[in-house]
Amino acid sequence: MQESHESRLLSAILENLTGGFIAIDETKRIMILNPAARRILDLPEGLNLDLSVDQVLMGAPDFAKILLDTLATRNPIKRSEISWLHGNRRHLIGYGTMVLRDAQSRLMGAAITFQDITPAR
């Protein structure tokens, strides 16, 4: 089956975003995790995404909690920041979340977009 132009365009957008993007479905499993999210959160390439978000993001539990809270409350976060300790370095991450709904307004999941906004040293 040939991929549609729309699907290829969506894939290209997700692949080329400079910020991280993670989407989970209503069962709390990761649907999308773009390359920038892997890079910012220092996630390994061979990561098994067929697990719940809290298992996949064990090294970044604050991000899993933000996604799960958005899914549970159905309340998106427009703009916020989180201080995240990764290794021996503290990072400042700017983020926003969204509730994902289909055309009939049925819940599909939740997503987060984020960027490392740590000031340069």
Check which CATH number belongs to the domain holding 48 and give it.
Answer: 3.30.450.20
Tell me the residue range of the domain where 59 lies. 5-116
The reply to whether 121 falls in a domain is no
Burial class (CB in 10 A: 0-12, 13-18, 19+), 114: buried
Predicted pLDDT at 84: 86
Per the structure, the count of domains in the chain is 1
The reply to whether 78 falls in a domain is yes
The reply to whether 15 falls in a domain is yes
Mean pLDDT, 10 residues at a time, the chain of 121 residues? 78 84 96 93 84 90 95 96 86 96 96 92 69
Residues 14, 117: Cα–Cα separation, whole Å: 20
Predicted pLDDT at 71: 97
The reply to whether 88 falls in a domain is yes
The reply to whether 36 falls in a domain is yes
Per DSSP, 28 falls in state S
The reply to whether 32 falls in a domain is yes
